[in-house]
């Protein structure tokens, strides 16, 4: 075998191994706003879900560039978990940075956020879609120049009067909502874990609308 053929074979094998490594790496992003005044608001459900996910898998967050980061292992897969500190409207900057830094494929990205158009406590997982008026998703879509990325939307309902949408999503959970929301967190964590282990399609079939 010539050195040229040997190097070509080595390069091809390396390329395959790199692809296999990439497919075992995931980025899970919970959207929200930083700061005490936003704690326990409907808009921060993404933070709550990833906090519970990281705790479930034995990790912890540390503040790094553009957000709080945790790294956990899920059945041999390396999972980076991000809570952007850029505020909701600029979420895309942090997502793009960590995707590039960790060399994450878009199909292994999952964005977790609130949604006014879904009944309270229900979840909807999709592989693509519009921003639906959500500023965090809109900024990510603008940075990606596409809406083709997996997202996990947690329904917060639409019990607000006309013109009060912003006040509603930035408002605190009612006592009744908070109690019900806490009960839905383990379900949401299971859905995120399923996305990593079983893939998007299987997770959609098992968890959507429940």
Catalytically annotated residues: 43
Residue 87's SS3 state is coil
Q: What is the DSSP letter of 157?
A: -
Tally the C-alpha atoms within 13 A of residue 35's C-alpha that lie toward its C-beta. Answer: 8
In 3-state terms the chain splits into helix, strand, coil percentages (rounded to 5) of 50, 20, 30
The whole-angstrom distance between residue 123's C-alpha and the CA centroid of its chain comes to 13
Q: Are 135 and 31 in contact (CB under 8 A)?
A: no
Q: Are 57 and 189 in contact (CB under 8 A)?
A: no
From residue 146, alpha-carbon distances to 26, 113, 149 in Å are 19, 18, 8
Q: Are 70 and 27 in contact (CB under 8 A)?
A: no
């Amino acid at each position: 075998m010539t050195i040229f053929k040997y190097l070509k074979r080595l390069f091809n094998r390396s390329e395959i191994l790199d692809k296999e490594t990439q497919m075992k790496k995931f980025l899970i992003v919970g959207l929200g706003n930083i700061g005490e005044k936003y704690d326990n608001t409907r808009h921060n459900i993404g933070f709550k879900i990833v906090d519970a996910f990281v705790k479930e898998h034995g990790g912890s967050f540390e503040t790094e560039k553009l957000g709080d980061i945790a790294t956990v292992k899920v059945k041999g897969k390396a999972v980076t978990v991000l809570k952007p500190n850029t505020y909701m409207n600029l979420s895309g900057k942090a997502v793009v940075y960590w995707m590039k830094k960790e060399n994450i494929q878009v199909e292994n990205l999952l964005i977790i956020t609130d949604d006014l158009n879904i009944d309270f406590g229900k979840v909807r997982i999709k592989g693509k879609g519009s921003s639906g008026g959500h500023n965090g998703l809109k900024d990510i879509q603008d940075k990606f120049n596409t809406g083709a990325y997996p997202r996990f939307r947690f329904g917060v309902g639409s019990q607000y009067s006309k013109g009060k949408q912003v006040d509603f999503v930035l408002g605190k959970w009612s006592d009744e909502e908070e109690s019900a929301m806490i009960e839905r967190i383990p379900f949401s964590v299971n859905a995120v874990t399923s996305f990593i282990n079983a893939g998007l399609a299987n997770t959609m079939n098992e968890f959507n609308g429940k």
